[in-house]
Amino acid sequence: MTDLRALIFDWGDTVMRALPQYSGPMAAWPEVAAVSGVGEALAALDGRYRLALATNARDSGALMVRAALGRVKLDGYFSVVVTSHELGVAKPTAAFFRAVLVRLGCAPDEAVMVGDSYDADVAGAKAAGLRAIWFNPDRSPCPEPHPVYDAELSAMLALPAAVAGLRLPDIPTCLAWLAEQGVSGELSRHSNLVAAAAFCLAERLAAAGEPVDPLLTHRGALLHDLAKVSARGTGMQHDELAGRMLRARGFPDLARIAERHAVWALVDPARQPETWEERLVCYADRLADGDRLLGVEARLAALLARRPELGAEVARYRAAGLALEAGIAGRLGLTSEALFAWLRGRLMASGLVT
């Protein structure tokens, strides 16, 4: 991963609070306020990265933005201030991000965008080749079941740690790794469905207070079948080989998810999924037959139809799979049937299943 050189911040509700009772240039408002914790975060990051502010503000040019920042003593942190008011283009267009990068003297992969708008700040930055951190103080659900951000935070005080912890491969990188291993279109669609299902479950569990990382869950699910094709003829199980590949790339957490996702892991004490991320990917994989979302029992029936030699094992898989489902549902105060119905509805609303 390319070393990070610059952080680009959105303005309203990322650095400065957008107070709804006022309109016009923020510098002229009767009062202004910084977002909680942003001053401490900027102080910790200052000197380690070039800091820029890039905003879609329509009423303020760069000088007016700096005047507003000066009222809360934050203007000195930003070496570059760019506004759509002066550029004539706005986020999420690639032209906006290119203009900011030119002023910073950075390549796209050397910069990260920090902002509260998923569409303008996160999706726009990622489409332009930058990394992106989604500032989500309300802990809103991600607008899509395939999160494109590289990190998420609900408090600005956590930003320095989030920047230092940027490590997971993004979606294009995951897809490139799958392509390198000869993964077919059908298998890619399966991985996409497993990733979406696991991520939706992880978000809901996180909202309920469970210690789960939705982004790690998603990336682990996207890569769980990394070695499905390349393991053929090697004498190795695809989950074991995927684990080796991911460890070699420096991702032990992703490796553990891959090593513990397969149906036989459910009945192997040495390989049973332990963390929430591992359990959710294992469970989501039990639901997805190709790109169809089935229940645990229907999925096992499909497996048995393909692999009749597993007949003696299916009963054990069934009991363990249903217990895994019940454990997830119970943490959310749901029955297994209600959990599956909710998940199907969520994915239907996203157009991933019919």
d(CA 237, CA 97) in angstroms, rounded, equals 44
Token output for 261: 């996702």
Looking at residue 125, its pLDDT comes to: 98
Amino acid, single-letter form, for residue 2: T
Has residue 278 got a pLDDT over 90?
Answer: yes
**292 half-sphere exposure, CB direction, 13 A CA radius:** 7
CB 143 within 8 A of CB 349: no
Look up the pTM and report it: 0.94
> Collapsing DSSP states into helix, strand and coil, what is residue 51?
strand
Residue count (the chain)? 354
pLDDT tier at 315, thresholds 50, 70, 90: confident
pLDDT tens-digit map of 85-103 = 899 999 999 999 999 999 9
What's the whole-number average pLDDT of the chain?
A: 95
Has residue 311 got a pLDDT over 80?
Answer: no
Domains 6-164 and 171-349 share a fold: no
Q: For residue 298, which of 286, 306, 310 has the smallest C-alpha distance?
A: 286
Looking at residue 74, its pLDDT comes to: 98
> Collapsing DSSP states into helix, strand and coil, what is residue 67?
helix
Looking at residue 1, its pLDDT comes to: 61
pLDDT tens-digit map of 219-277 = 999 999 999 999 998 989 999 999 999 999 999 999 999 999 998 898 898 899 999 99
CB 346 within 8 A of CB 200: yes
Has residue 318 got a pLDDT over 90?
Answer: no
Q: What is the CATH number of domain 171-349?
A: 1.10.3210
β-strand 292-293 against 288-289: which pairing, if any?
A: antiparallel
Q: Where are the domains of the chain?
A: 6-164, 171-349
- Mention every residue, 6+ apart, whose C-beta is less than 8 A from residue 323: none
Domain 6-164 listed as CATH 3.40.50.300: no
Looking at residue 246, its pLDDT comes to: 98
State yes or no: cis peptide before 92, omega within 30 of 0: yes
pLDDT tens-digit map of 53-87 = 999 998 899 999 999 999 999 999 999 999 998 99
